[in-house]
Amino acid sequence: MIALAQVAPLTAPPIDYAAIAPLLVVLGGACVSVLFEAFLPRHQRWPAQVALSVLVVAVAGIALGVYAGTAPAAGIVTLATALSVDGPTLFLWGTLLVLGFGSLLLIADRSVEPGGAFLASAVERASVAAAPGTTSGPTGVDPEHVDRSYGAPGEAPTMQTEVFPFVLFALGGMMAFVAANDLLTMFVALEVLSLPLYLVCGLARRRRLLSQEAAVKYFLLGAFASAFFLYGLALLYGYAGSVKLVAIATAAVGTPKSDALLFGGLALLVVGLLFKGSVGPFHTWTPDVYQGAPTPITAFMAACTKVAAFGALLRVLHVAFGSTHWEWRGVMWVVAIASMAIGAVLGLTQTDLKRMIAYSSVAHAGFLLLGVMAITPEGVSSTLFYLLAYGFTTLAVFGVISLVRNADGEATHLSQWAGLAKRSPILAGVMTFLLLGLAGIPLTSGFTAKFAVFSAALGDGMAPLVVIALVFSAVAAFFYLRVIVLMYFSETPEDGPTVTVPGAFTTVAVTLGVVVTLLLGVVPTLVLGWAGAGGLTG
Amino acid sequence: MSPTNYLLLSALLFTVGAIGVLVRRNAIVVFMCIELMLNAVNLSLVTFARMNGQLDGQVMAFFVMVVAAAEVVVGLAIIMSIFRTRRSSSVDDANLLKY
Amino acid sequence: MNTAVMNTAPDTGGNVMLLVLLLLPLLGALLMYPLRTNVPAAKAVAMATALLEFVLVVVTWVGYSTDAASSGERFQYVFSVPWIPAFGTHLAFGIDGIALVLIALTAFLVPGLMLFAWAEKLPEGRTASGYFALLLATQATLMGVFTATDVFLFYVFFEAMLIPMYFLIGRFGGPNRQYASVKFFLYSLLGGLIMLASLIGLYVTSADQLGAGTFTWSDLQSIAQSTPTSTQIWLFLGFFVAFAIKAPLVPFHTWLPDAGAEAPIVAAVLLVGVLDKVGTYGFLRYCLPLFPQASQILAPLVLVLAVIGIIYGALLAVGQKDMSRFVAYTSIAHFGFIALGTFAFSSQAFAGATLYMVNHGLSTGMLFVMVGLLVARGGSRLTRDYGGVSKLAPLLAGCLLLAGMSSLALPGTNSFVSEFLVLVGSFPREPVATIIATVGIIFAALYILWFYQQTMQGPVRGNAVIRALEAGGVGGPGAMIDPAVAAERGSGFPDLTRREIGVLAPLIVVIVVLGFFPGPVLDVVNPSVQSTITEVGLPDPVPAGGVVGGVR
Amino acid sequence: MTAPPEVLPATGAASVAWLLFAIPAVSALVLFLAGKRANAWGHVLGVGSVLASFLLGVVIFVQALGVAPDQRTTELSLYSWISSGTLNVDFGLRIDPLSLTFVLLITGVGSLIHIYSVGYMAPHASGHGADADAHAEPSSDSSRRRFFAQLNLFVAAMLVLVLGNNFVLLYLGWEGVGLASYLLIGFYQDRPSAATAAKKAFLMNRVGDVGLALAIFLIWLNLGTLQYTEVFARIGELSGGTILAITLLLLLGACGKSGQFPLQSWLPDAMEGPTPVSALIHAATMVTAGVYLIARTNPIYDLTPTGRVVVALIGVVTLLIGAIIGCAYDDIKKVLAYSTVSQIGYMILAVGLGPAGYALGIFHLLTHGFFKAGLFLGAGSVMHAMNDDVNMRNFGGLGRKMPITFVTFGLGYLALIGFPFLSGYFSKDAIIEAAFGQEGWQGWVYGITATLAAGLTAFYMTRLMIMTFFGEERWRNLKAPDGEDYHPHESSPVMTGPMIVLAIGSVFAGFVLSAVGLNQWLAPSLGELQESPDGALPHALVPWLVLACSALGVLVAYLVVGRRPTPVQRPEPVSFPVQAARRDLYANAFNETVIERPGIWLTRALVFLDNRGVDGLVNGLAAGLGGGSARLRRLQTGFVRSYALSMLGGSVFVVAALLAVRFA
């Protein structure tokens, strides 16, 4: 690239637009939706934004499908080798788009929470929220929010529509993140995906303080982590003289430079990524943010952020550090075990459902690492599959959680779920199925995914780690079981929460999650095929 | 003067920033410490560019500045909002979410 | 002989009978949902399903050719289609004699259990339709687990089995049901997950040896002999833990008394009578043929556990205060016998162990039912709340005695044949273990007779009985009850009703008939046992009429 | 021993020999299932079935007499019972002189006792209850039906035991009679003592069964077959050690079933059962199964002198124990029970003598079957008259009240103590002769003990006679246990009839059987009876010695009991020997302290271990995880800076570790 830069400094690098079309569509759509925010009258924004974002995701999906049909199996590198559009990238893009679509539906739903889960403006409720004792308690519901009619002018201001451009930008960032072929692109993408997320975390209509606190924590820690990432980038640049993953890989094989730079850089880089993937011990933000953020956003983060983070981690470790994996694998073992242990053990005693799922996601991050660590085609494909499966299940779980409400919003405390099966057998059944999926019981996607990942790990000589992982998944099963016990075997409390009849959007999203969880458990062949379609190219 | 010293300096600055994040309570200051870490990285990027005899590192530094600027915008917005609701910018006051 | 070659199923389907056997109960279970409000209809449908299933199993039995089996055809009714090519798994079903008798046992028990549960008083807020749906679902998973010839598929059912049983215990069980159900689920799940590790290991090994990884039982069996022993041992241990927990062997047994005691009687029968057999069945079908060397090396370990279980379970049974726990502990002793037979590597012991699985299902099933009948009358599970029942309900007492005699393997009952085969077959290879086990039959007599004396013999006594009688307006504390008088005054402690007799009669008939004519079952089992012997690669210790040891 | 005769397929009547046990079995089944409907005719069916199989037995017997001795051993294979791999157990019968002899004994005596029971178990017979049922559940028709069902079951099982042509079938009958005996001992279900006695009997039998089972395993392991013919044909191939082991294990089985030392203590307790049961099962037939077992497996015992010595010693010890304890009891049935123990001791001693004794053992078994059954029925008749009281101290002078019982009982008594030319005289003396016939110390030990026991027998039986039938009528001024007055009276003909028949048997059986040559008849099964040489003592002397000994016993009894009035209260305290005898020579005390109590403690300990230890470990693990989790989650303080710290810590670790891995 250096050479190229010197020879023809003025020729723009060739761009394979077909390949990066999905990315462009999403980012472009994000800009358009910003313009909507700016110029549309309020009462039109909500329908317009929803329509736009759905359209954008759909179009991106179509573009992806069209390209995937004709894509070279080996994958290509385009945009001056900044992006690598190969099998895994396409798969991850697809995953992100579908999961993003689901999340958008949850976000867009205004029937569950009158007027939607997002507040007109952070300022508006400040006084209310600041009143003592209202921190986690009810923050006043204005009468005008009670009526559920769509798009009525009187109601328009109550729905905050700037969440849509944010989500679209984040989505675009994620897509760029998993495709990034050099560390700089990756860093920029990282910020592009993170910054909007920081913001949307703080937009909850209910429990303002929790929401804002989540935003602040996420932001500070996120920035902290990206600083590490960046320093790692710098060190690697110093080591390899380039931030291209391939260049690093080649440099790692033969360079006089001290390996201190290489491994120091790797370590810091990985830390940044592990943070995003909420891998213990870099998970500390996860429970708080998951609990504080508006549930649809939590769903979006839990599903998509994990996909993005592990997609990038996969690329970095396999493309840039595949040759040196004997040096770093030991450390990653420790990290994986730590993550599984933290997630499984701490999850046992959680009393808030969202926090519990957060810890479950920490444990799952540990399982995912097994696949990432396996420097084999199976390692890649199994990780990809796992991400897809986990994403859908967890998305649906949060969708269900958002339906169980009482006077002051969602009833996420475990005790409030007691005897739910009696009042809403369907919902309890769905939740049970999803939890069993998270626990990895056969005939759910969770099992297929675990199986794929663990067999990849075992195939790459990590048998002990697999056994440990299985033991921890048994431990983790306990807290999923706790919820089931509560829903089915316990008696209902008097002032139990009510189960809201979900609107079309939420219904679709949850159904999507459940169906995929089931299908991937029973007939995963097709998806497994996609996941194994092509290797990573740098 | 050998560029290695710049590297050491940047490492030092990075550490200072990290420590600052840990010890300071005011959200703004904490955030500034993070900025300090980013700029420490910039320093080392430039130094490496020098050592490798390339421009890439310096280009990257610009990238980083832009990103940092964006981060400032977002960050300040968030901190402002929480300051408004709580009338306090101490990060330790925001600990409703725990355990 | 290489069974793999001749048995690897065609990937083009095949005989759908087993598929029907698997899906029919599932369908019935699903039908319960629309019928959840109309309980009588739900019961009727469930019963019809169970009976139809039984008929189909009978048809299957009739169609099963022992000649083909003895001529080396490992599985019959073979059905196989690729499932997840990426993992080399198939939806592969097939039965040998061992599986056949076990699915027959399942299909035989379920209708009777439904009849038992027909008028059962359920916890408030629970509907019988849900109850029967779970029963059918359990039956379906059991059918699957016994007929699967793909190890992955087997594992899937092995885990799926837990869920309906978990709900049966948790929703319809006794006061302590939550603890029991969760303990049962987690314990089994842990075992299952450890087995999963071995499963994956098996897959990787097969990939190394066959090029492409597979889960087809026959293929895995064909490479068993060539798998390095060290690998075999690790894989074996994984499977072993799962099966030892499921069986259960001491010291992995503590979940069983809780589950068995808290579960509703029908669930307890299915749990102890059939579901636990998956463990011993797993030893016989998976551990031995797939890891022959490892099995032989680690046999001593299992035998020690087995023998301990025989004595330990028996002594603990004597020490129990709760009738259901008592039955559970007797089962632990019996599982010791089965494990002993399974790891004694002789055709008699194998056949005995297999037969033992069936017979234990029958006799323990009947014991549990009897306990259920007592509890239904007295409302208490404690042994000391009953006494002298034989004066009030002689029929009930008689049936209990018969169940007990079958449980202590009295000659003339079904269990004797299996216990005799196990012991006589184990003696040549494992004399010491066999001698201890044989001493165990004294303890068996001890706990059964102790239990019978406590509850049935002596003067009418026990809080539960007295309470029931006073409720029925007869007698007072310790009153001598004249059965005739009690009857005409409408005793609160009635003898067996017609429905209950209907539940017990088939069991009794089978128990006695199998005691004198075990031939039909043995004929079905023997060929498959022979193949297992071949797969393990050990010759029978005692050749026909041949003088083996102690020759002058 | 002579070469075993070749085995022919059963023909003629023998080809339906399976009916012998099928008939009573079916009858039992009917009685069990028919329920109350059968109350009216249940006992008729019960008696009829046994009679039927007795007649069939006679027919087969006659048919067997018709053919040459070496043609009399026939087999009848019904179907393959248990078959797996190389093991194949037929449900096959062996009809030979030995089994036929037993068939006749079982069905013959069985029929008599069935008939007797019709009267004995009759509901509300003669004013007050016919038996203990009186103050338990009223002796109802259904209880009598139950009784006959169980009695038929016993007969069927016993016939299977003696007819089976292989060890497994023997085992089937072996435990089958065990079950029947369990049911019948515990027949009076609401008597806790009965239930306990039944349980004790079954358990001690099981101990013996373990021996039998292990013997079977050993035989199969070494010979690969379990059929008598094949086993006996090839037993010679085995090493002495193996054979000895087999014989000792078989002996253990015999001891359990026949109440021999050290497993004798269940038999006296078994008297809790109705008296007919004691007569049939615990005197005439079942308890002699041990003798049958040893006689049946004589080809094995022939090969091991050591094994035979053990057998003989067991016999000797037991017959002495039985005789001694018999002297101390006041319970009429217990005395008879211990007398049974001691008499079976004689039989075991006999079969322990090998070829010189097998036939004698069977001989004594038959005569004993007659007179002991007769004695028990007599005792039952007495109890029947005395409100089911068994304490002889409350009796006295009953001879005048119930002449028939007195006479029949008396004849049985004379037969038992070996009064010249009554049946006991022939059979017992023969055994003692053979015992003295052994060379060396054996001859002396066996002979002298046997003679001594004969004297003791005379003593305790005379004591029994005197206390029951002679002397003052102590019952006149006493109340029965059930608080009523005693009204001694003769029993009904249906009861006295069988007693008379048995009395006749006890008088003539010995003479007849020896005259017609039982030994030759049994030869095909037991080999020719070898006339024992004049070992320790010349045969001429033995009868006189025994006679003198018995006479002495009678005399002493007369002096001790007859001459002075019997105190109604049992004299206490008494000298140590009497005390010991009253306490069964401390056998039960031994069992209790050495087996029962430790067992209970062990059980309790194990239950504790299982709940606290094994299960505690599981729950503890769970609790530990939960507790750890509860503590660890406190680390999630909610302070963003502590989060940052943990992140920094993690990063430092990763960096350090990576560098360490690389550079260390």
- C542 compared with B70, residue with greater pLDDT: B70
Q: Percentage of chain D surpassing pLDDT 70?
A: 96
**Residue C192 within any structural domain of the chain:** no
**Residue A260 within any structural domain of the chain:** yes
Cβ–Cβ < 8 Å for C290, C149: no
What does pLDDT average to over chain B? 91
Give residue C487's domain range: 296-538
Cβ–Cβ < 8 Å for B97, A292: yes
- A154 compared with D347, residue with greater pLDDT: D347
What is the pLDDT at residue D138?
43
Residue pLDDT, tens place only, D185-207 = 999 887 888 999 999 999 999 99
What is the pLDDT at residue A153?
39
Q: Percentage of chain D surpassing pLDDT 90?
A: 47
CA–CA min distance A435, chain D (Å): 20
Which of these, C75, C108, C106, C97, lies nearest to C8 by C-alpha position?
A: C75
Intervals of chain B under pLDDT 50 = none
Position D536 confidence tier, pLDDT thresholds 50, 70, 90: low
Q: Residue D508 above 50 pLDDT?
A: yes
What is the pLDDT at residue C5?
39
Which of these, A224, A202, A331, lies nearest to A275 by C-alpha position?
A: A224
Q: Ranked by mean pLDDT, which of D140-149, D188-197, D395-404, D547-556 comes out on top?
A: D547-556
Integer angstrom CA distances of residue C457 from A66, C397, C473, C496, D194: 82, 9, 22, 17, 9
Which of these, A54, A305, A62, A296, lies nearest to A173 by C-alpha position?
A: A305
Integer angstrom CA distances of residue C59 from C52, C56, C71, C97, C99: 10, 5, 22, 14, 15
Q: Which residues, 6 or more positions from D90, have their beta carbon under 8 angstroms from its beta carbon?
A: D77, D78, D79, D80, D81, D165, D166, D227
**Residue A7 within any structural domain of the chain:** no
From the list C253, C435, C544, the residue facing D214 with the nearest CB is C435
Q: How many residues does chain D have?
A: 664
Which of these, A516, A394, A519, A94, lies nearest to C84 by C-alpha position?
A: A519
Please provide the DSSP assignment of C471-540 as one string: HTT---TTPPPPHHHHHHTT-SS----HHHHHHHHHHHHHHHHHHH--HHHHHHHHHHHHHHHHHHT---
- Count of CB atoms within 10 A of residue A128's CB? 14
What is the pLDDT at residue A400?
94
Longest dimension (CA), chain C: 79
Q: Residue A530 above 80 pLDDT?
A: yes
What is the pLDDT at residue C482?
52
CA–CA gap between residue C335 and residue C332 (Å, rounded): 5
From the list C86, C155, C204, the residue facing A459 with the nearest CB is C204
What is the pLDDT at residue A6?
58
Residue pLDDT, tens place only, A63-111 = 999 999 888 888 889 888 899 999 999 999 999 999 999 999 999 988 7
CA–CA min distance D174, chain C (Å): 9
Helices (H), C16-127: 17-32, 39-63, 66-70, 97-117
Burial string for A509-522 (b: 16+ CB within 10 Å, else e) reads bbebbbebbeebbb
Longest dimension (CA), chain B: 51
Q: Residue A316 above 80 pLDDT?
A: yes
What does pLDDT average to over chain C? 88
Residue pLDDT, tens place only, C22-42 = 999 999 999 998 888 888 999
CA–CA gap between residue D168 and residue D155 (Å, rounded): 18
What is the pLDDT at residue C266?
93
Cβ–Cβ < 8 Å for D249, D211: yes
Work out how many domains chain C is built from and give that number: 1
Mark yes or no for CB contact B86/A209 under 8 Å: yes
Rounded to the nearest 5 percent, the helix, strand and coil shares of chain B are: 80, 0, 15
Mark yes or no for CB contact B92/D639 under 8 Å: yes
What is the pLDDT at residue A132?
39
Residue pLDDT, tens place only, D16-49 = 889 999 999 999 999 988 877 888 888 899 999 9
Compute the average pLDDT of residues D156-166: 93
Residue pLDDT, tens place only, D447-474 = 999 999 999 999 999 999 988 888 888 8
Compute the average pLDDT of residues A288-316: 94
Mark yes or no for CB contact C347/D85 under 8 Å: yes
Do B and D touch, counting CB pairs below 8 Å (3 needed)? yes
What is the pLDDT at residue D477?
79
Q: Residue C552 above 50 pLDDT?
A: no
Compute the average pLDDT of residues D526-537: 76
What subunits make at least 3 CB pairs under 8 angstroms with C? A, D
Task: Classify residue A273 as exposed, middle or buried by CB count within 10 Å of its CB (0-12, 13-18, 19+).
Answer: buried
Q: Which residues, 6 or more positions from C166, have their beta carbon under 8 angstroms from its beta carbon?
A: C181, C184, C185
Q: Residue C406 above 80 pLDDT?
A: yes
**Residue C326 within any structural domain of the chain:** yes
Mark yes or no for CB contact D644/B94 under 8 Å: no
Q: Which amino acid is at D142?
A: S
What is the pLDDT at residue C4?
38
Work out how many domains chain A is built from and give that number: 1
Tokens of C75: 């599985």
- C197 compared with C250, residue with greater pLDDT: C197
What does pLDDT average to over chain D? 88
Give residue A34's domain range: 13-130+152-531
Q: Which amino acid is at D113?
A: I
Give, as one character, the DSSP assignment of residue A375.
-
Q: Check if D533 contacts A (Cβ < 8 Å).
A: no
- Count of CB atoms within 10 A of residue C435's CB? 18
**Residue A390 within any structural domain of the chain:** yes
Residue pLDDT, tens place only, C186-232 = 999 999 999 999 999 999 999 988 888 899 999 999 998 899 999 99
**Residue C39 within any structural domain of the chain:** no
CA–CA min distance D612, chain B (Å): 32
Q: Residue D479 above 60 pLDDT?
A: yes
CA–CA min distance D259, chain C (Å): 17
Q: Residue A399 above 90 pLDDT?
A: yes
Position D105 confidence tier, pLDDT thresholds 50, 70, 90: very high
Compute the average pLDDT of residues C465-485: 62
Position D523 confidence tier, pLDDT thresholds 50, 70, 90: confident
Mark yes or no for CB contact A454/C200 under 8 Å: yes
Residue pLDDT, tens place only, D206-223 = 999 999 999 999 999 988
Mark yes or no for CB contact B91/D633 under 8 Å: no
Which of these, D57, D125, D140, D68, lies nearest to D95 by C-alpha position?
A: D57
Mark yes or no for CB contact B99/D638 under 8 Å: yes
**Residue A538 within any structural domain of the chain:** no
From the list B45, B70, B87, the residue facing A234 with the nearest CB is B45
Cβ–Cβ < 8 Å for A516, A448: no
Tokens of C235: 């894989």
CA–CA min distance D641, chain B (Å): 5
Q: Residue A505 above 70 pLDDT?
A: yes
Q: Which residues, 6 or more positions from C220, have their beta carbon under 8 angstroms from its beta carbon?
A: C151, C202, C206, C214, C290
Q: Percentage of chain C surpassing pLDDT 90?
A: 71
What's the half-sphere exposure (Cβ side, CA atoms, 13 Å) at D358?
28
Q: Which of A216-220, C359-363, D139-143, D254-258 shows the lowest per-residue confidence on average (mean pLDDT)?
A: D139-143
Helices (H), A241-376: 245-253, 259-276, 285-292, 295-300, 306-315, 325-348, 353-373
**Residue A351 within any structural domain of the chain:** yes
Mark yes or no for CB contact B98/D636 under 8 Å: yes
Q: Residue A124 above 60 pLDDT?
A: no
CA–CA gap between residue C455 and residue C442 (Å, rounded): 20
Which residues of chain C lie closer than 8 angstroms to A452, CB-CB? 86-87
Domains with residue ranges and CATH for chain B? 4-87 (1.10.287.3510)
What subunits make at least 3 CB pairs under 8 angstroms with B? A, D
Please provide the DSSP assignment of D474-486 as one string: GGGG-B-TTSSBP
What is the pLDDT at residue D379?
92
Sign of CA dihedral C439, C443, C449, C450: positive
Which residues of chain C lie closer than 8 angstroms to A485, CB-CB? 170, 178, 181-182
What is the pLDDT at residue D140?
67
